[in-house]
């Protein structure tokens, strides 16, 4: 089977790398078509822990990967000014506290808080404590150790990652063609894509097409007309300015998202620079205003003229149609508030492999792929909307809109269940688990009215002891962790060591 990946960037090269590694070469030949003229977006520079499994499946060495992509470690995301101006909470990669008497920790915490016995839940998250102190170490394997209660991801240069994966894929037989598509020919009967024609006149035929062409969805949308489900009424941000600058301080092991008048500004620290961006809603904020807001707050002068990106929150109605599978921005867009872009690529690749089509393209593969990807996208969408909707801010028209807008039924249900009773509604597919929903609910000041009554079985003294014990244990364990920058050097993940090799 001939596979043609249309488009490079992270989506294209992650797909090429995975297919070349995991599919038998005698059955599948992979070609990637990209044009150096067409810029790739590359703003997805923070990730979630799942990427470590992707890298492991490819057999990548962590230190090598980090040196090549100038990566730093990430323990979570700090959200500033989202609930109220002046607030700060971290959504960590890890759960809070420990169960007691068969009841989940946060119920005990809510109970303690009601009686004035507990402050912010952050004291019971080891990764949060470490992040705020600028420390990092690999988690421990021993489940009894407090250092096993968290996970981690990376902050990296996605352009360098794509380049790294390109070398990897080409070494494994992926052919690269330089060029731009000007036409796509479909089979008259089946409507399947058959060949693409390049500007140069060259024609490339394939059996399976992976559309990594970005927002325009050259194949999935422009050719096959799959349609777009628009979510801009729930997620009104539609533009961003992005620019890198030098770091002015220590290398923080976390990403920052600071809410602004009509959007938010990201700060992603890499080894060699800081990535910055202002995501905003053009309906509530002019381009000039957005640009100056970004530049005003940079910690050092921007390296380059900030680039503008325009986008629409939503997803393709059918991400797999006939013999075209869209991955990355061609499949849909959700703002990078929770570092989900690269993860959605990884998910799509995983399901494509699990459901890799037979030569007849049984429609069940397509149906199942679309069913599961839709669930993932919708649940991430709801998670992101939560950050906006659960605000107490009323200082701008944008925040008033977010606070009062209609939200999806699925999210409304979930919020009510948590608000009333402190329970996170369960689902099977969906990258964000209980601990994540909890971190954002509590961080956004959605505190349950009622906690699990079973908590009352624990007498107040024992409860206080349990809380104090964990808090002390975590604080102490963090104290033994090195500073983030030092740790990077120690394990040889510092990119400057590359040149010495």
Chain residues in the site for another protein (CB under 8 A): 1, 22-24, 26-28, 57, 101-102, 353-356, 358, 362, 364-365, 367-368, 371, 413, 416-417, 420-421, 423, 425-428, 449-454, 456-457
131 vs 134: CA distance, rounded Å: 5
Please, what is the minimum distance in Å from the beta carbon of residue 377 to another protein?
16
Of 99 and 490, nearer to another protein (C-beta) is 99
DSSP H helical ranges for 333-443: 341-354, 363-389, 397-404, 409-421, 434-443
Please, what is the minimum distance in Å from the beta carbon of residue 452 to another protein?
6
Which is nearest to 301 in space by CA: 273, 279, 278?
273
Of 64 and 456, nearer to another protein (C-beta) is 456
Long-range contacts of 265-270 (CB under 8 A, 24+ apart): 265/293, 265/294, 265/297, 266/46, 266/336, 268/45, 268/46, 268/155, 269/72, 269/155, 270/45, 270/70, 270/71, 270/72, 270/155, 270/156, 270/157
Please, what is the minimum distance in Å from the beta carbon of residue 435 to another protein?
16
Contact assessment for residue 331 and residue 373, using Cβ atoms and an 8 Å cutoff: yes
Residue 53 tokens read as: 């499994």
Of 1 and 291, nearer to another protein (C-beta) is 1
Backbone angle region of 339, left / alpha / beta, with phi > 0 → left and psi within -120 to 50 → alpha: left
36 vs 34: CA distance, rounded Å: 7
β-pairing verdict for 255-260 and 76-80: parallel
| 434 Cβ contact partners less than 8 Å away, ≥ 6 residues apart | 95, 424
Of 104 and 166, nearer to another protein (C-beta) is 104
Residue 485 tokens read as: 């920058």
Please, what is the minimum distance in Å from the beta carbon of residue 433 to another protein?
13
Of 367 and 472, nearer to another protein (C-beta) is 367
Name the β-bridge partners of 150.
Answer: 94
Of 364 and 392, nearer to another protein (C-beta) is 364
Of 160 and 415, nearer to another protein (C-beta) is 415
180 is catalytic: no
Rg, Å, the chain Cα set: 23
Residue 475 tokens read as: 């604080």
Strand intervals (E) in 187-254: 193-198, 203-205, 208-211, 228-230, 239-245
CA distances from 242 to 218, 298, 375 (A): 25, 11, 30
Set 57, 74, 114, 315: catalytic member = 74
466 vs 97: CA distance, rounded Å: 9
Please, what is the minimum distance in Å from the beta carbon of residue 381 to another protein?
17
β-pairing verdict for 332-333 and 263-269: unpaired
How long a stretch of residues is the chain? 501
Of 183 and 427, nearer to another protein (C-beta) is 427
Of 60 and 270, nearer to another protein (C-beta) is 60
Contact assessment for residue 234 and residue 387, using Cβ atoms and an 8 Å cutoff: no
Name the β-bridge partners of 279.
Answer: 240, 264
Please, what is the minimum distance in Å from the beta carbon of residue 468 to another protein?
21
Contact assessment for residue 326 and residue 227, using Cβ atoms and an 8 Å cutoff: no
Would you please indicate which residues are annotated as catalytic (active-site) residues?
74
């Amino acid at each position: 089977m001939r596979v043609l990946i249309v488009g490079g960037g992270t989506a294209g090269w992650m797909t090429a790398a995975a297919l070349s590694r995991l599919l038998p070469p005698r059955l599948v030949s992979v070609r990637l078509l990209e044009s150096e003229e067409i810029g790739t977006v590359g703003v997805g520079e923070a990730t979630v822990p799942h990427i470590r499994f992707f890298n492991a499946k490819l057999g990548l060495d962590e230190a090598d990967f980090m040196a090549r992509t100038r990566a730093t470690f990430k323990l979570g995301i700090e959200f500033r000014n989202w609930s109220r101006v002046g607030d700060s909470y971290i959504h960590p990669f890890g759960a809070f506290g420990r169960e007691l008497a068969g009841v989940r920790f946060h119920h005990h915490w809510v109970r303690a808080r009601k009686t004035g016995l507990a402050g912010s839940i952050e004291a019971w998250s080891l990764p949060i404590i470490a992040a705020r102190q600028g420390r990092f170490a690999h988690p421990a394997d021993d489940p009894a150790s407090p250092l096993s209660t968290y996970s981690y991801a990376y902050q990296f240069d996605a352009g360098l990652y794509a380049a790294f994966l390109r070398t990897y894929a080409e070494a494994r037989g992926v052919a690269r063609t330089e060029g731009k598509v000007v036409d796509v020919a479909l089979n008259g009967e089946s409507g399947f894509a058959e060949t693409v024609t390049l500007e140069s006149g060259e024609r490339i035929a394939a059996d399976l097409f992976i559309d990594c062409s970005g927002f325009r969805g050259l194949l999935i949308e422009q050719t096959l007309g799959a349609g777009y489900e628009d979510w801009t009424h729930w997620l009104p941000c539609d533009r961003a300015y992005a620019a890198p600058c030098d770091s002015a301080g220590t290398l923080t092991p976390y990403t920052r998202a600071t809410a602004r008048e009509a959007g938010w500004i990201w700060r992603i620290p890499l080894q060699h620079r800081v990535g910055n961006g202002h995501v905003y809603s053009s309906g509530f904020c002019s381009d000039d205003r957005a640009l100056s807001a970004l530049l005003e707050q940079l910690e050092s002068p921007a390296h380059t003229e900030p680039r503008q990106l325009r986008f629409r929150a939503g997803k393709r109605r059918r991400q797999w149609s006939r013999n075209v599978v869209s991955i990355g921005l061609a499949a849909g867009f959700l703002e990078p508030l929770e570092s989900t872009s690269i993860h959605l690529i990884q998910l799509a690749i995983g399901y494509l492999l699990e459901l890799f089509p037979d030569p007849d393209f049984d429609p069940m593969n397509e149906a199942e792929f679309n069913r599961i990807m839709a669930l993932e996208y919708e649940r991430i969408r709801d998670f992101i909307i939560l950050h906006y909707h659960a605000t107490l801010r009323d200082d701008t028209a944008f925040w008033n809109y977010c606070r009062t807008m209609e939200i999806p039924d699925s999210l409304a249900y979930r919020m009510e269940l948590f608000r009333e009773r402190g329970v996170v509604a369960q689902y099977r597919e969906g990258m964000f688990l209980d601990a994540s929903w909890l971190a954002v609910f509590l961080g956004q000041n959605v505190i349950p009215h009622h906690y699990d009554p079973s908590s009352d079985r624990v007498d107040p003294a024992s409860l206080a002891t349990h809380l104090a014990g964990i808090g002390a244990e975590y604080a102490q364990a963090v104290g033994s962790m090195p500073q983030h920058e030092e740790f990077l050097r120690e394990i040889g993940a510092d990119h400057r060591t590359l040149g010495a090799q």
